[in-house]
């Protein structure tokens, strides 16, 4: 049995939630007995949990108590010898797990949970937690570099880029109304993700008036919600962009994929905001499935999610001139745009979970289980 302990799990939506869920799902698909120890959410956990091919145990209540109850439940299975491997979604989920159990312990690392200048208490806390991991899996080389401060034996750090799912073509009843809505509007830029400062969507808005002089039919689609949404809507209105920017909020998978399929360039000129930084940027590779190139900021792991001049263009997310130049290059050169889009699609194929799960199985020593 493989135990996965996580604070981040669906039906809550997010990058870590997506990664941990697919890790559990694809281990199960490959024939492994998986049990997920997850925090309860405010959503309908029961309906979601019943549909899964693996066991899920939820823990609710005051966070410090919840974490201890979860750790005790995991210790019970470990003592019984029923566990062949333990995976935690972060060092926080590993922190209360006792040592002395002879099973592989794999800890996921995403980037933002590792401060660049921690105080001594935080430094020692993270060090002690990570010392319990037999293997640490970083989602990018950038994240691996952030971990190095907390881990003496760097050989325990492995990099596995987040896997992505194979998407089917969106149904016509969803994609056709989108095509109708976009009729006469070209080109289409799109951003998908949590709307917050480090994503750089505000910079895209600021450069749109200049781009509209040469591309008067340009549309910018923003899918997602977050702390900066009201501010961005006000900015778009102040810049006179109301007819060129669509704020769509949350969209289900079919709708999101339909908008991606109808778009020309995916754009997130991410930047670092204090310790808040993009660890990788799974959404770049998810967009690449549909053969569209990306414009990414040169912050954190985004430089690995988008390969400059191969699957898209990497720019300085702090510099509006750099962002505008990258967008313009792709909009003006259709041959380049299609070439980078096809390269992006091919790379996305290599990152499908069918391939990625094999790397996790290898690290867990489960090849012959």
| H-helix or E-strand spanning residue 223 | strand 219-223
Q: Which tens digits make up the pLDDT trace of 136-171?
A: 999 999 999 999 999 988 999 999 999 999 888 888
Number of domains in the chain: 2
Quick check: helix, strand or coil at residue 144? helix
Q: Does pLDDT of 366 surpass 80?
A: no
Cβ count within 10 A of residue 103? 17
Residues 136 and 238 in one domain: no
- 96 in a domain, yes or no? yes
Q: Which tens digits make up the pLDDT trace of 183-217?
A: 888 999 999 999 999 999 999 999 999 999 999 99
Residues 240 and 313 in one domain: yes
Both tokens assigned to 232: 């961005």
Q: Does pLDDT of 368 surpass 50?
A: no
Side by side, the strands of the sheet bearing 265-268 are 245-249, 219-223, 188-192, 265-268, 294-297, 312-315
Residues 239 and 99 in one domain: no
- 369 in a domain, yes or no? no
- 277 in a domain, yes or no? yes
pLDDT confidence band for 369 (50 / 70 / 90): very low
- 232 in a domain, yes or no? yes
Q: Does pLDDT of 318 surpass 70?
A: yes
Cβ count within 10 A of residue 122? 13
Q: Which tens digits make up the pLDDT trace of 319-329?
A: 999 999 999 99
Residues 358 and 315 in one domain: no
| Mean pLDDT of the 339-353 span | 96
- 321 in a domain, yes or no? yes
Distance of alpha carbon 16 from alpha carbon 22, whole angstroms: 10
Q: Which residues pair with 294 in a beta bridge?
A: 266, 312
Distance of alpha carbon 236 from alpha carbon 203, whole angstroms: 11
Spatial neighbors of 298 by CB under 8 A, at least 6 apart, are 314, 315, 316, 317
Residues 90 and 216 in one domain: no
Residues 113 and 6 in one domain: yes
CA distances from 307 to 236, 279, 311, 318 (A): 30, 15, 5, 19
- Among 158, 163, 157, CA closest to 355: 163
Domain hosting 95: range is: 2-163+352-364
Rounded to the nearest integer, the mean pLDDT of the chain is 94
**Burial class for 224, CB neighbours closer than 10 Å (0-12, 13-18, 19+):** buried
Residues 323 and 358 in one domain: no
Distance of alpha carbon 55 from alpha carbon 37, whole angstroms: 9
Quick check: helix, strand or coil at residue 16? helix
Cis peptide upstream of residue 11 (ω within 30 degrees of 0): yes
Residues 215 and 267 in one domain: yes
Q: Which tens digits make up the pLDDT trace of 75-108?
A: 999 999 889 999 999 999 999 999 888 899 999 9
Cβ count within 10 A of residue 118? 16
pLDDT confidence band for 274 (50 / 70 / 90): confident
Residues 333 and 230 in one domain: yes
| Domain at 244, CATH number | 3.40.50.2000
Total-model pTM: 0.91
Query: How many residues comprise the chain?
Result: 369
Residues 101 and 177 in one domain: no
Distance of alpha carbon 61 from alpha carbon 65, whole angstroms: 7
Residues 229 and 147 in one domain: no
| H-helix or E-strand spanning residue 125 | helix 120-130
Residues 33 and 145 in one domain: yes
């Amino acid at each position: 049995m493989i135990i996965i302990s996580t604070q981040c799990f669906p039906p809550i939506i997010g990058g870590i939630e997506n990664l941990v869920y697919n890790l559990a799902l694809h281990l199960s698909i490959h024939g492994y007995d998986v049990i997920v120890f997850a925090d309860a959410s405010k959503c309908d956990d029961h309906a979601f949990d019943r549909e899964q091919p693996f066991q899920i145990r939820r823990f609710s209540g005051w966070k410090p108590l919840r974490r201890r109850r979860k750790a005790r439940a995991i210790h019970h299975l470990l003592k019984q010898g029923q566990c062949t491997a333990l995976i935690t979604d972060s060092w926080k989920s590993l922190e209360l797990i006792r040592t002395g159990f002879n099973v592989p312990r794999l800890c996921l690392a995403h980037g933002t949970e590792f401060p660049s200048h921690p105080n001594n208490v935080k430094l020692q806390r993270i060090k002690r937690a990570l010392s319990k991991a037999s293997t640490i899996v970083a989602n990018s080389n950038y994240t691996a570099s952030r971990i190095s401060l907390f881990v003496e034996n760097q050989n325990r750090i492995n990099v596995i880029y987040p896997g992505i799912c194979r998407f089917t073509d969106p149904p016509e009843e969803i994609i056709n109304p989108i095509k109708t809505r976009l009729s006469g509007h070209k080109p289409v830029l799109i951003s998908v993700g949590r709307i917050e400062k480090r994503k750089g969507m505000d910079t895209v808005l600021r450069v749109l008036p200049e781009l509209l002089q040469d591309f008067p039919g340009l549309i910018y689609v923003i899918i997602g919600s977050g702390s900066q949404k009201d501010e961005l809507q006000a900015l778009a209105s102040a810049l006179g962009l109301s007819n060129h920017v669509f704020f769509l909020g949350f969209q289900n998978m079919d709708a999101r994929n339909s908008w991606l399929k109808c778009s020309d360039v995916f754009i997130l000129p991410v930047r670092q905001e204090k310790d808040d930084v993009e660890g990788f940027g799974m959404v770049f590779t998810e967009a690449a499935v549909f053969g569209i190139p990306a414009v990414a900021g040169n912050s954190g792991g985004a430089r690995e999610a988008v390969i400059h001049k191969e699957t898209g263009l990497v720019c300085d997310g702090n510099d509006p001139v750099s962002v505008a130049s990258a967008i313009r290059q792709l909009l003006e050169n259709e041959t380049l745009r299609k070439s980078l889009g096809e390269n992006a699609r091919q790379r996305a194929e290599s990152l499908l979970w069918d391939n990625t799960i094999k790397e996790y199985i290898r690290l867990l020593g489960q090849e012959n289980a």
